[in-house]
Chains A and B, each alone.
Chain A
């Protein structure tokens, strides 16, 4: 049973790419597929990667304004701070966030930080624990123990106690015979490490060097974003289905379609950002007969592209007196579009397309970072799962 996920712009295989995909897959299975697919735990998820055939910068961003700072080592933890609440306590970021924005937001931050793992089983465990953590946070959005916490490690201890039903702050209950481990619970240790990474990601001062690095990171991100869009459109129009980007997507979709046909099972396609544009082109032009049971676009610009009439099948005469909106791709049974009001790169679809359901979600992140913050957040996956269940049942 196949699900194909098509990523968006600015995605490159860095050291954490595989870990992010693993956690995303695990969260998909546990929060979304579990709602509609009986065999959700073993559901096949394909992740065609096209970042390597996207925009190439031949002078390695020499066109960006230069500075004289450089990072001596990995600096990939900066994105952990995107939604953190400013605090003077470097080890209390999660606590401050939980107090001001709620436990669910702190859980999202924690799981994003803890996502680095090279182990499928561990990712599945992390997703399972996320489900339990969210369930606890939904019923205890502002638990009383929040007021007593000294730092983020305390928050994890209290969350663990809350989930397990015991409460070390008020005394432990009677235990049933069970397997004892003569050491630590690895899953919690990973979360503690994640909290530690959040603390160490904070710059010691707001120096000019740090600000320059943050600006450059943003600049590189925007350049890659624009580059990927331009490369896609150029190659699509020049090379048609010989375009490497389209080729990668078609390969995965055709393979998934073959699996679906042989097993008589549904095909689910999920797209992030420009992945939605590519898939719209594929489902209307390159594979118009490919039957898709559920099409999910998240943070996508499909409606914007149609307004600009940039799709292969765009009809410049619509809207007109008879046709107010463009119909969703004929081969798609259900289309769900998710956008974040904080994400300036995501767009509503119902004003342009018919046959699509819009779903608003707030990541709570800033205007630029919201765009890349959907899929490794347990709370997003949980709400997406609920919406998919609704749409699926119709």
Chain B
């Protein structure tokens, strides 16, 4: 059973008000933590297990993303139309309207079935937004290959249960949906086991066809670069999905008076967020965006997002004596933030996105006052300098 379908269930929230046959957002969300044929699974362990282990973070991450889609997604141009959530192991999911649904297991047959339904819904309107999310094991040969719960089921063709996401992405050029976002939260290491195959063994959920004309905005937001790893803490949401949920709050631009999450800004925000969360760890993770990126809007924020602004003086020595203030331009000259000396460090201000004027004064030091213009531009961080002179 599909997790949520506005045609059947009506809108989950006011944001998802049904607009008849207008464009919709349709999400297919997959999280695989249990692998039946990998060590620790209940099935016969495949010879091609590649030392992959059972995971706990992907189903949690998939549920966290599904929760965001159901509760937070706000796209007036394409309200939420449907959500399909598959997780291994299966679990109950509580909808915002109080309804509870049990998720289907993320086996290859279930994924193929869910994909076909999702494809049909996405293909129903050219301005639809298609969202595909996968979290679980991934490996790489020519393309990235994602592993569902039943990977390794066939002894002589273990990759029959696997998804070639690059081929699938190419095949999706046939889908009318003009905005298609793919979030792939998995490793992309090049396994020896795959290198010894004569051909890429993964399965396309839809085969690419020649002669397909598509003007789609179709980014592949990858949790990590080719041949690299992606991580998550056990029983917690993965680094990439945490970064994604954070980036959906700050990967925005201003259009017609609205703060809109666009594919291009989301890409910038995701790279930064993954770097912040995973860049300093023992095992660093760096995400990247592939595919086609055009900047279509996929979500709207009701208020300005917070942007980290770093402020200091030049010469640097003056910073510790400065009384620093930030005034917003809208409304004009409204004092938002102030810091009094003495303080030794640069000043970090979490400011709502917008334009500000920063001023530095020196009640107890021999510098002239100075000011500078500050654009707190999402996703940030923004660094500005107030240049001052000795009296």
Contact = CB atoms under 8 A, between A and B. Distances in A.
A181 interface: yes
Contacts of B233: 177-180
B56 A183 contact: no
Contact of A168 (B40, B55, B137, B139): B40
A183 B187 contact: yes
B379 interface: no
B105 interface: no
A186 B51 CA distance: 9
Given A190-B192, A196-B192, A182 B187 contact: yes
Interface string B170-209: 0000000000000001111101110110000000000000
A192 interface: yes
Contacts of A189: 50-51, 189, 191-193
Given A168-B45, A177-B233, A183 B52 contact: yes
Interface in A161-191: 161, 168, 172, 175, 177-186, 188-190
B196 A196 contact: yes
Interface string B31-73: 0000000011000010101111101111000000000000000
Nearest to A186: B189
A182 B231 contact: yes
Nearest to A161: B39
Contacts of B138: 182-183
A180 B50 contact: no
A181 B187 contact: yes
A190 B195 CA distance: 12
B229 interface: yes
A160 interface: yes
Contact of B39 (A172, A178, A180): A172
A183 B188 contact: yes
B193 A180 contact: no
A193 B333 CA distance: 66
Given A172-B39, A180-B231, A182-B238, A157 B196 contact: no
Contacts of A153: 47
Nearest to A156: B51
Interface residues of B, number: 38
A180 B283 CA distance: 11
A186 to B, nearest CB: 6
Contacts of B47: 153
Contacts of A172: 39-40
Contact of A183 (B39, B139, B234, B235): B139
A240 B231 CA distance: 59
A157 B51 contact: yes
A184 B234 contact: no
A192 B187 CA distance: 18
A157 B47 CA distance: 10
Interface string A135-169: 00000000000000000010001001100000010
Given A168-B45, A182-B223, A188 B51 contact: yes
Contacts of B191: 184, 189
Contact of A177 (B45, B49, B186, B234): B234
Contact of B230 (A175, A181, A188, A193): A181
A182 B229 contact: yes
B218 interface: no
B79 interface: no
Nearest to A185: B51
Contacts of B378: none
B186 A183 contact: yes
Nearest to B227: A186
A168 B233 CA distance: 22
A92 to B, nearest CB: 13
A182 B55 contact: yes
Contacts of B195: 193
Contacts of B137: 182-183
A303 B167 CA distance: 65
A242 B163 CA distance: 64
Contacts of A157: 39, 49, 51
B135 interface: yes
Nearest to B233: A179
Contacts of A196: 192, 196
A153 B39 CA distance: 14
Q: Which 7 A-B pairs have the closest CB atoms?
A: A183-B187, A193-B192, A168-B39, A188-B51, A182-B186, A182-B230, A184-B50
Given A179-B234, A182-B187, A183-B188, 19 more contacts: A153-B47, A160-B51, A168-B45, A177-B233, A179-B231, A180-B56, A180-B232, A180-B238, A182-B55, A182-B137, A182-B230, A183-B52, A183-B137, A183-B138, A183-B189, A184-B139, A184-B189, A184-B191, A188-B51
Interface of B: 39-40, 45, 47, 49-53, 55-58, 135-139, 185-189, 191-193, 195-196, 223, 229-235, 238, 283
24 contacts: A153-B47, A157-B51, A168-B39, A172-B40, A179-B232, A180-B53, A180-B56, A181-B187, A181-B229, A181-B230, A181-B231, A182-B57, A182-B136, A182-B231, A182-B232, A183-B52, A189-B51, A189-B189, A189-B191, A189-B192, A192-B192, A193-B192, A193-B195, A196-B192
